[in-house]
A and B are shown apart, each in its own frame.
Chain A
C-alpha cells in the first residue's frame, strides 16, 4: 500500500499527496517512513510565510499571490492554518473561502489545518505538510499562519521570507515600533489600502524600519494592496523575489536554512526523548522517592534521562 501511494505521489497524484499529509497529521508511523523517503527530494521549494492579525486579508492575499505565481508558471503549495478550539478540539477552517478560483488549478495544492494545540506556532503537522508539498514539486510554498497577535513569531523559524500583513486602523507609530511580530517581516503589506489612511500606516512602518531590521543589509519594503482586486500584488511578489535574491546572493539563505536544519534536528530529538520519558514505567516510584526526600529531583532527572537515552 505504501509503495503504491509513493508511486502515485511521484506521478503527481494529488489524492496520494493529500493522503500522505493525513497520515502525518494522524501520527501514523508509516507516514514517518514516507517522510524520511521524501526528504531527499525536497529543499527546492522556496517558502513564504504570510502572517498578521485575524481579518487582515491573509487568505485573500494568498489567493492573489498564487495567481501571480501561476502567471509565471510556478507550481504552488499552500498550507493555511486556522485556530483549533482549546475546548472541543474542533476547528472552522475558512481560508479556502477566499481561494475558490485557484482550487481547481492543476498546479496548485491547498491544505487547511488546525493549530491543534500549537499556540500561534506552526505545528509539526504543518511543517511536515510543507515537506510533502516541496517533494511534490511545488516551486513555491506559502504558509498562511493563524491570525497572529504581537508575539507570535514562530513562523520566522520555518520560512525563507516573512510577509507581515496589516491593515489601516490598527494603531499608530508606537504599535509599529513594538517588539515581537513587527520585527519579523522581510516585507510589510498594508492591505485594504482603500480603507482608512493607508498612507499613514505606510509612513509609520517605513519610519520604524529605517531604524533597523533583524537582517543586516536588508531594508524591508512596505507595499500597499487591495488584495481582493489584485491591486499591488505584483509589487508584493517583486519584493519577495528581491528578498530571495538578497538571501541567495549574500549566502544568507544557506546560513538560515542550516540554522533551521539544526533547530529541527534538536526539536525532533527533544520530542523523541520527551515521548520516551513520558512512557517510562518506573516514574511513579521515582516521584514517590523524591516526594519523600529520599532523593533530590536533580539526581532523579539525571538517572531518568540516562535510563532512557541509551
Chain B
C-alpha cells in the first residue's frame, strides 16, 4: 500500500487550529496518512518530525502573521537537513495576497486562503505528490 503521507503543522505562536483540523480531516478522508503535530511548533520541530515520518508533503498553517518569516525557514531548514528531498511544502491560513509571490519564490509550492474548496487542496497534493 502506498498512501501519501502528509505532515500538518501550526508554525509559530499560533494556537488557532480549527482550520488545520478541517484540512487534516479532509486529507484523511481522501485516503492520506496525515500526521498532525499540533499547535505552536517551531520550524526545527516540524523538520525533525518530517524527517522521522518521511512524509511526502508538509502543510503549514499560520493565522498569526508570522508566515513570511516562518514558512521560508521551514523550507530552508528542510533543504539543509535533507538536500535530496522532494517534499512538497504548501501553506495556508491568513496570508495577504501580496505575500504569496514571495512565498512561492521561497519554495512554498502553493498557498490556500480561507474559502478554498478542500477538493482543490486534495487535487494539488495528489497531482504533485501522488504515487
Contacts and interface: CB of A to CB of B under 8 A. Distances in A.
Interface in B19-43: 24-25, 27-38, 41
Contacts of B32: 90-91
B48 A112 contact: no
B119 to A, nearest CB: 15
Most-contacted residue by chain B among A27, A92, A104, A114 (CB, 10 A): A92
Q: Chain B: interface residue count, which band? A: 20 to 34
A114 B2 contact: no
Nearest to B44: A104
A92 B28 contact: yes
Nearest to A20: B54
B1 A92 contact: no
B29 A26 contact: no
A25 B3 CA distance: 10
A100 B38 contact: yes
Contacts of B54: 18-19, 21-22
A88 B31 contact: yes
A178 to B, nearest CB: 32
Contacts of A85: 28-29, 31
Given A88-B28, A88-B29, A92-B28, A97 B36 contact: yes
Contact of B82 (A15, A92, A96): A15
A88 B53 CA distance: 21
B53 A111 contact: yes
A127 B45 CA distance: 26
Interface in B40-88: 41, 44-45, 48-49, 51-54, 81-82
B29 A90 contact: yes
A100 B52 CA distance: 13
Contacts of B36: 92-94, 96-97
B48 A103 contact: yes
Nearest to A101: B45
Contacts of A21: 54
Contacts of B41: 100
Given A26-B2, A89-B3, A112-B53, A97 B38 contact: yes
Nearest to B34: A92
A137 to B, nearest CB: 15
Contacts of A96: 35-38, 49, 53
Contacts of B49: 96, 103, 110
21 contacts: A17-B52, A26-B1, A27-B1, A85-B29, A89-B1, A89-B3, A90-B29, A91-B3, A92-B25, A93-B35, A94-B36, A96-B36, A97-B37, A97-B38, A100-B37, A100-B41, A103-B37, A103-B48, A109-B52, A110-B52, A111-B53
Interface of B: 1-3, 24-25, 27-38, 41, 44-45, 48-49, 51-54, 81-82
